[in-house]
Chains A and B, each alone.
Chain A
Amino acid sequence: MKLYCLSGHPTLPCNVLKFKSTTIMLDCGLDMTSTLNFLPLPLVQSPRLSNLPGWSLKDGSAFLDKELKECSGHVFVDSVPEFCLPETELIDLSTVDVILISNYHCMMALPYITEHTGFTGTVYATEPTVQIGRLLMEELVNFIERVPKAQSASLWKNKDIQRLLPSPLKDAVEVSTWRRCYSMQEVNSALSKIQLVGYSQKIELFGAVQVTPLSSGYALGSSNWIIQSHYEKVSYVSGSSLLTTHPQPMDQASLKNSDVLLLTGLTQIPTANPDGMVGEFCSNLALTVRNGGNVLVPCYPSGVIYDLLECLYQYIDSAGLSNIPFYFISPVANSSLEFSQIFAEWLCHNKQSKVYLPEPPFPHAELIQTNKLKHYPSIHGDFSNDFKQPCVVFTGHPSLRFGDVVHFMELWGKSSLNTVIFTEPDFSYLEALAPYQPLAMKCIYCPIDTRLNFIQVSKLLKEVQPLHVVCPEQYTQPPPTQSHRMDLMVDCQPPAMSYRRAEVLALPFKRRYEKIEIMPELADSLVPMEIKPGISLATVSAVLHTKDNKHILQPPPRPVQPTSGKKRKQRATDDIPDCKVLKPLLSGSIPVEQFVQTLEKHGFSDIKVEDTAKGHIVLLQEAETLIQIEEDSTHIICDNDEMLRVRLRDLVLKFLQKF
């Protein structure tokens, strides 16, 4: 069993598992942190951004000044943002049989894989994953396509030139493989290859393995996967949560007894407790608004925003914020808010039960009804008419490189009354803010990551007890900035195996058994003999039939009676296994003392018994014969006296069982 690791990002994994002649891709996350190296795409012409000075090398050569711009001491690529794809060279991706998707954040690279690698297999995902994943992709494509940029920078990617650039551009990895965003057409084509699955549904892959999605508790429709054959079980844990938020709770019990547990998607901010962060979020939001400032929340259109809106629903009245408008701006805002209300079966129990009342499971429906929350596809159109300040705006993209958020950063950045509150943990907020410096508005970092932390992982592993744990290398050591925090790493016995991007891992896993079915008529013909209480044996002569990784023992064809012709007889002997009468199989052991007594009864005398390392030697001195009795063999050694040998053999056989 081998694991090909195509992504180095622990929460946006992309791994390929080769297991029992199947090739399974586990998630295809897209690392979007590469976009932080690019200038933001403003929705409205920004004089500040368009007038940034070009960057020139130390020697004064300015041939890169069209591609690279300088802003507050940082250098940015002035081009359409590009993304860092999973490795495509490590394994031939056209051989991938299936792709299993865990959650909507981990499928963003899907169009690159399904549309450009010769992939012909099937993708499995739950319905909310697909629907919300589609929204995320749609939003991404929309954000980028609606601000067309003629320029595409490539000079800086030249390895010799990249070396000369300042950090972080200098240290960016695999820039040559960075790609522009896919198109909506590619998205549609990729999504058409997805087959929908439900929790605990068993999916047979070529008869060899069975895959099952389990609820992971992180997001709507998010799953962990069990990949198992009859005798082996691999668990793939990706983006799970034990907190009581909106999704169905995590199914931990089904992960028990795994041979290998592949652990990815843990919290990116292990030191921040989500509850505390929500409190910080609300407090800072209220403080800003009370002072007459606006609050900007860069966020994805789905996920944590549902929980934030729910918290605010309970909080705004108590904080005296009932008159403050909340705006949610995204091309998919409407769909996201509505989708969340219809996936009742994927929600936690409390929310499910609301549906039967009937009430909308999420309270944002009421916020919309009472006009406290308004949503718009973009800042253009209705929004510009309704816009009132002070207000709270939820909008994308959290990288601050594209989407409506760019406009609000430009609009509100100059006033210290305003606040930007970062809740998504995927991007470093300082890097995200770099092209907006100098910035007067307050910045609050409240990353809310509900995925498992290391304490929860430790408890989970104790509970499910996998034989081996495999995880990204980042999880096997404390974070570099807090190297003393030994509690911020996966701690298990035996120690977890780690992987990094572009590594191939042979998993410590031996296949020992294979299941074979016996046809009923063959089973009927078997005559078991009990050799020990509870253990019966039978000899089997059969034909092993193997197809689609299923093995069946069929009765051997009856020997065809030679009717005529030499040719047919010849064929019969070719086809039919050798069916001549076999010697019976023996079992049991020979008690030496009784055997000697038997020999004496049968007229042998002068018998000597010697003990050897492996058993005994019975010496018939007179007959010059030696009987060697060992655990699994008995030899009678006598010189040219076949009669004697047969006599002795029969005496030996008396002590053994035959079948």
Chain B
Amino acid sequence: MDPESSRLLPALCAVLADPRLPEPDDTCLEKLLDWFRSLAAAGPSLRLLQEHPCLVELLRRSAEGPEPSRPVFAFSLRLAGVLSAQESCFHLLQAKLLPLLFGEQGAPGREAWMAPTVRSAWIQGLHSLAQHPGALGFLADLGAVDRLLTLQGDPSLFVVTAAGQLLVHVLGLALHNCGPPCGPPLDPQWPLLASSLLAQLEEALQPASTPQLLQALGVLTNAFTSCPAPWAPALWGRLRPAMTCLLEGQPLQAPHALGDLLLAVARSPEVVVDLGPWEMLALVLGRLEPSQGGQLALGVLQLPECPQALRAQAFGVLLQPLTCVLSTSTDAPGLQELPPSAVGGSASLDLLLASRSACVGLLCCALARLALLPPLPWRPSPWPQAFLLGAVVAVLRSCNGHVPISAAGGRLCAALVGCERVQRAALDLLGALAQDAGPPELVLEVCGVLLEHVDSPDSSPTVLKKAFQASLTWLPHADKKPHPCGLQVPAQLFLPELLQVLRKRLCSPSWEVRDSGLEFLTQAASLWAGQADFRQMLQASEVPPLARQLLRDPESYVRASAVIAVGQLSSGGLWAHPGDQQGSPLEGLLDMLDTDPDAFPRRAILQVLTAWLRDTHGPLAAHPEPLLARAFQAAGRDPDWEVRARGLELAREFLVQTLGRIGVPCPYVPTPLLDTPPADTQALHPACRTRLFEFVFPALFDYDRPVARAACELLLLLRAQTTTCATPPQAGDTPDPATVEAALHCWRTGEAGRPLGELVPQAVLAVLQALDLDDLRGTLADGSDHAEKSPLSLLQDMLAAAGAQGHNQVDCY
């Protein structure tokens, strides 16, 4: 603690302890506690207490004195907890103060206990305190477990949650402290506190006591995730009978909480396999309605190790809504691949079609959960790819109003038609399913339905975006030979048709649609620029010139996306269309950098330029200097700080390329560059020619801190490079210190003068040496509000607030 804060602390404690003064601000108390927490973490709390007896006095007055204000009392409870987290300090306070604060005659016995903040602070204080074995005895003496169990029924949700967390913590600590279990593995000797807590929780696991049951299940679920590994099997062994009894109850109580507990048990790797909760999970899954069991089924499927039968059962639950969808269709591919539990029958169908909202909700959940499975290494096997593709295609067709002719199909269609939520979820799943292909005819159907969605004028911008994303993932699969039977969308036509639709979408009056189209184009170009077929088709389409036209779009987001797309097309060499007379778009982009009124496109341009610079074969490969000079000049006077920051990235990239080994090796830099010989002043010539330093030096004094920091980092790296490797400057080459100082003054104040004239390498090095970059870095590292955020400032504020209040009272009097 700094001396000034030390000096102020007694006064502040006195202010806090004085009940006559108005209550301090909650936020201030919270900040104060954070400060003490950091002090306790940094050193022994005992010393803190010894050096600042005012703290003990504050706690004593809170514990013994007349009723303090509730915020101060709550603060004292939490502070006592924070300080007592260290055993030495705990022993100091335990004798008298802690029982007075936390015991019967303390917080629980006071009127302030009525306030949820005080109850919450009591729990938090104990939670902070319960870090060592000594605390366990204290908690036992206090009867804290009983009280915490009571607080599980508290009207305040915060109190309930905190109480639950503390119970879990206490159980974990008790088990942790007593080491590995002794005695029979399934019936070991339990520590007393843990045993009494578990006994009470077991008692709550009765089918009749619903609120307590829910809370007990919640505590036990968390307990399994935090209890020491060797104790997990014993804990499960102890709970098993109560759980079995609970599962026999009719109707099944708290099924979701029960499922969560069983999943937590199953996730615990120490639970012996033959003792695993598998049967119980199967039982719960079987007793849940399909509409309720989805979350549990997903949890089961996410378990890496799980019996095959249970996995199949859970998978069936997730698949059931889709089975219903496919049952309305005349053509249901892949039904034979399904687990028996997936086939629901007419009751499930009726349930699905009960109402529009129920149908949409159930399908969305099922689709979203299924979309999480494909990436899992232990996903269900055999994986019913054909069935899933068929079902998703059927769902998407229903959303577009096309269904097979059946009464149930008609009802399903009426529920789903135009439903954006379902479309989004189905397209996500379709995208996730693209990691496998599937039967060729189904792949073609997928391509067809994707085209339908990309093309449909009724697709909302979000749906369109998702359809584009899914198309990207499916494009590689569409590269198969067409199936002999007459299919709607021959696979080899998918990309050309997609490009046709994209052409139309790029002309859409909706900017979101144009933007999504450009994003798709960028991604497609980055993925397949190297493929001859793709190049040919893209160049044959009118898409590249359209993208270029969108550089003049009235919407700034679209212009920014067009810049990125054009950048990608250029680096991929996709402009080389014989009919394209416009040449490289580089000039156009630099003009835009000067003239575009919005920041997004300008930021995008610098991003593209940086990418081009990294690419040794990109549009900037030949004669980049004049173009970069324009870019640095434009970035330097740009009003948007992010544009300036991106300009600095470009500058750094250029320096990397010209100086070679500068900075952290960049993954994009070709390795030969890293082996270039050390830089000398000659190496700075290209940078000087591009007037890079006229941009970077003033940026050091930028009003926007991120820009100044980036410039500082860049120059620090440059300095490190030049001071170690560069040849010493020759006398007479370097400018005199006064001129350098004048130049720095100009940059600092933003004046237009150039005392150093055109910056030559020697002048750059002189400026670098004249600058105290390390000090500047330190200054810039502090936030602009670092002074206001300091503990001293906090103490002063709190004291001033209390004092000001006093003055006001006197004035009023």
Contacts and interface: CB of A to CB of B under 8 A. Distances in A.
B507 A286 contact: yes
B403 A484 contact: yes
Nearest to A319: B507
A484 B414 CA distance: 9
Contacts of B509: 278-279, 282-283, 311, 314-315, 318-319
A273 interface: yes
Contacts of B414: 485-487
A73 interface: no
A598 to B, nearest CB: 65
Interface stretch (B57-65, B234-242, B404-412): B404-412
A485 to B, nearest CB: 6
Interface string A465-486: 0000000000000000011111
Contacts of B420: none
A287 B504 contact: yes
A319 B413 CA distance: 37
Interface string B688-720: 000000000000000000000000000000000
Interface string A318-329: 111000000000
B508 A282 contact: yes
A279 B513 contact: yes
A485 B507 contact: no
A317 B554 contact: yes
B458 A287 contact: no
A185 to B, nearest CB: 44
Contacts of B154: none
Contacts of A287: 503-504, 507
A317 B553 CA distance: 9
Contacts of B554: 317-318
A271 interface: yes
A280 B464 CA distance: 14
Most buried by A among B503, B504, B507: B507
B558 to A, nearest CB: 9
A72 interface: no
A613 B417 CA distance: 60
B542 interface: yes
A291 interface: yes
A311 B508 CA distance: 12
A386 B258 CA distance: 80
A487 B417 contact: yes
Nearest to B398: A484
B334 interface: no
Contact of B457 (A276, A315, A486): A276
Q: Is the interface of A mostly helix, strand, loop or mixed?
A: helix
B401 A283 contact: no
A483 B508 CA distance: 32
A283 B505 contact: yes
Given A282-B508, A314-B509, A483 B555 contact: no
Nearest to A277: B457
Given A271-B401, A287-B504, A318-B555, A279 B510 contact: yes
A450 interface: no
Q: Is the interface of B mostly helix, strand, loop or mixed?
A: loop
A271 B456 CA distance: 11
A273 B400 CA distance: 12
Given A279-B509, A318-B555, A273 B410 contact: no
Most buried by A among B409, B458, B549: B458
Interface in A231-270: none
A318 B546 CA distance: 12
A284 interface: yes
Interface in A300-352: 311, 314-315, 317-320
Nearest to B406: A484
Interface residues of B, number: 30
B413 A484 contact: yes
A272 B418 CA distance: 11
B411 A482 contact: no
Contacts of A278: 509
A485 B508 CA distance: 29
B552 interface: yes
A283 B517 CA distance: 13
Contacts of A282: 507-509
A484 B410 contact: yes
A485 B410 CA distance: 6
Contact of B458 (A276, A319, A486): A276
A283 B504 CA distance: 6
Contact of A318 (B406, B459, B553): B553
A508 B542 CA distance: 62
Contacts of A276: 456-459
A487 B554 CA distance: 39
A272 B458 CA distance: 8
A443 to B, nearest CB: 15
Interface in B385-436: 401, 403-406, 409-411, 413-414, 417
A493 B104 CA distance: 66
A279 B514 CA distance: 11
B405 A484 contact: yes
A286 B513 CA distance: 15
Contacts of A273: 457-458
A286 B505 CA distance: 11
B409 A484 contact: yes
A659 B554 CA distance: 85
B322 to A, nearest CB: 20
Nearest to A482: B401
Contacts of A446: 457
Nearest to B411: A486
Nearest to A317: B554
A483 B549 CA distance: 44
Nearest to A491: B414
Interface string B543-569: 000100100111100000000000000
Interface string B428-468: 00000000000000000000000000001111000000000
Nearest to A274: B457
B709 to A, nearest CB: 38
A155 to B, nearest CB: 43
B417 to A, nearest CB: 6
A223 to B, nearest CB: 30
Nearest to A483: B405
A291 B405 CA distance: 41
Contacts of B513: 279
Given A276-B456, A484-B413, A283 B405 contact: no
A485 B414 CA distance: 6
A320 B546 CA distance: 10
A317 B405 CA distance: 46
B361 to A, nearest CB: 18
B690 to A, nearest CB: 34
A444 to B, nearest CB: 10
A291 B579 CA distance: 13
Contacts of B401: 271, 482, 485
A82 B671 CA distance: 82
Contact of B410 (A272, A317, A486): A486
Interface in A473-507: 482-487
Contacts of B457: 272-273, 276-277, 279-280, 446
B552 A320 contact: yes
Interface string B673-688: 0000000000000000
A268 B552 CA distance: 38
Contacts of A311: 509
A21 to B, nearest CB: 44
Interface in B502-544: 503-505, 507-510, 513, 542
Given A278-B509, A290-B549, 10 more contacts: A277-B457, A279-B457, A279-B508, A287-B507, A290-B546, A483-B405, A484-B404, A484-B406, A485-B417, A487-B413
18 contacts: A272-B458, A273-B458, A276-B457, A276-B458, A278-B509, A279-B457, A279-B509, A279-B513, A282-B508, A282-B509, A284-B504, A286-B507, A318-B509, A319-B509, A484-B405, A484-B409, A485-B410, A486-B413
By Cβ-Cβ distance, the 5 closest A-B pairs, closest first, are A276-B457, A487-B414, A286-B507, A484-B410, A283-B507
